Amino acid sequence: EVQLVESGGGLVKPGGSLRLSCAASGFTFNSAWMSWVRQGPGKGLEWVGRIRPKTDGGTTDYAAPVKDRFTISRDDSSNTLYLQMNSLKTEDTALYYCTLGQGLLPGWGQGALVTVSS
């Protein structure tokens, strides 16, 4: 069974940084495409970005609103996905979901809440 457990959420001031982690189990992590999706308070779903497995280059793609501020990385030795968020803005306030997949998303974590406020 796919399990994805996010951690690292919290309150941060505008302009600050935060790193989310996602512990993955129940599937072969090192061959999996992984993504982050966020959901603003009372809002819909927004795809944030994805990372390919190292066998496919391990490269990343991002949505325009977070490009050049957010970085997705992975540690296959510990089955962990990361989302480094820099230069945070109030509009980045959201529940951030770690997901299995790149476009089609068959597995979701419970989410980590990030609040950007002064």
Partner 1 sequence: DIVMTQSPDSLAVSLGERATIHCKSSQSVLYSSNNKNYLAWYQQKPGQSPKLLIYWASTRESGVPDRFSGSGSGTDFTLTISSLQAEDVAVYYCQQYYGSPFTFGPGTKVHIK
**Residues found near partner 1 in the complex (CB under 8 A):** 35, 37, 44-47, 50, 61, 63-64, 97, 102-106, 108-111
Sheet containing 18-25, strands listed edge to edge, beginning at the edge strand earlier in sequence: 3-7, 18-25, 80-85, 70-75
93 or 109, CB closer to partner 1?
109
Q: Min. distance of Cβ 50 from partner 1 in angstroms?
A: 8
Nearer to partner 1 by Cβ, of 13 and 67: the residue is: 67
Shortest distance, CB of residue 27 to partner 1, whole angstroms? Answer: 14
* Shortest CB 98 distance to partner 1, Å: 10
